[in-house]
Amino acid sequence: MNINIEDLKKKIIYRATYRGTKEMDILLSSFAKNYINKINDKELIYLLNLLEHNDETLFRYYQGKKTFVKIKTNKITKLFKNFDYNSD
């Protein structure tokens, strides 16, 4: 499977920015824009997979609360859990 990295980055930014709740739009778009050019191709896929989860699950995960869905631990999920969007 041949993936165009620039198209993948655009897809990630779009999914991170248009979530459905303003709070998650802000949090996820800030996170994605901060790391999109700092991570490798494999990590971009991890980020895309993270964005497949719904807002409630992601927000609970970000807050360190129990989620009803198992989110695999990897570099991206660790970065997300420790991301401080207020410091931008």
87 confidence band (pLDDT: 50, 70, 90): low
For the cut 80, the answer to whether the pLDDT of residue 36 exceeds it is yes
pLDDT value for 85: 76
pLDDT value for 47: 98
2 confidence band (pLDDT: 50, 70, 90): low
pLDDT value for 3: 73
Instruction: Tell me the percentage of the chain whose pLDDT exceeds 70.
Output: 95
29 confidence band (pLDDT: 50, 70, 90): very high
User: Is domain 5-83 annotated with CATH 1.10.10.10?
Assistant: no
Residue 52 φ/ψ region, left for φ over 0, alpha for ψ in the -120 to 50 degree band, beta for the rest: alpha
